[in-house]
Amino acid sequence: MKPLAIFRHAPGEGPGYLSEYLRRREIPYTLICVDQGDPIPKDPRGYAGFVFMGGPMSVNDPLPWIPEALGLIRAAQEDGQPILGHCLGGQLISKALGGQVGPNSVPEVGWGQVTAIINDASRPWLQDLPPVFEVFHWHNDTFTIPKGASHILKSPFCSHQGFVLGRTLALQCHIEMTPTMIESWIKSPQGQQLKAGASVQTPEAMRADANERLARLHKTADTLYGKWLETLCE
């Protein structure tokens, strides 16, 4: 089997729990560290699928790798290859496929619920999950739903939390979190500048019951990652 390509855009925003899940399933992957200057592949056919992680930058920033990533996403989508995006990764997918990315009405940071939007496209992805479940959030921007894609998730502070298009799953939220990631984000420069409010949790709230919440989050991730990996065999 060809490896998956996982794109890391910042040192603290790697695959997290996803890497553990893939190792457990014996799915090979290559970590492409964009933050260290690793090149974006031009030909998608060398990989079984593509995973784009988060990052503190905007997809609208004038960074040289962003147009290359957008081009790869478009080529992979046209070739029918599976694509998965988390937060910034979901925004990259949206922009590559004709959507728009811009500021959300409010920042959304910390633990929060998302609600399933049930339709013909979302049902296969979400049928094994409850209608409302908890995920982790850390974003200022959000995406629109590209033409032809199906809206599958929303939250009280962000109406567009996920969409699917064929074998592509784009998420605004995070399901890959680990204890180390949460702590490093809280202590990051961005975390130190947060102002708590209705849509932004305090560090204490993010740490509260973290082990139990992460255990539930990883069960959610198991379901969504499993559904996405099924598309590798279609």
CATH of the domain at 127: 3.40.50.880
Read off the pLDDT of residues 119-135 as tens digits, 9 standing for 90 and up.
Answer: 999 999 999 999 999 99
**Would you tell me how many other CB atoms lie within 10 Å of the CB of residue 23?**
11
**H-helix or E-strand containing 125?**
helix 123-126
Rounded CA separation 80/219 (Å):
27
Q: Give the DSSP letter of residue 13.
A: -
Rounded CA separation 220/133 (Å):
8
Query: Letter for the amino acid at 115?
Result: T
CA nearest 162: which of 194, 182, 186, 137? 137
The number of domains in the chain is 1
In this prediction the pTM is 0.97
Read off the pLDDT of residues 151-192 as tens digits, 9 standing for 90 and up.
Answer: 999 999 999 999 999 999 999 999 999 999 999 999 999 999
Rounded CA separation 37/177 (Å):
24
Confidence band, pLDDT 50/70/90 cuts, at residue 1: confident
Domain range for 183: 4-233
Q: Are 71 and 162 in contact (CB under 8 A)?
A: no
Read off the pLDDT of residues 48-90 as tens digits, 9 standing for 90 and up.
Answer: 999 999 999 999 999 999 999 999 999 999 999 999 999 999 9
Positive or negative: CA dihedral 53, 56, 60, 62: negative
Strand partners for 111: 136
Q: Are 174 and 87 in contact (CB under 8 A)?
A: yes
Q: Which two tokens stand for residue 71?
A: 């081009």
Confidence band, pLDDT 50/70/90 cuts, at residue 233: low
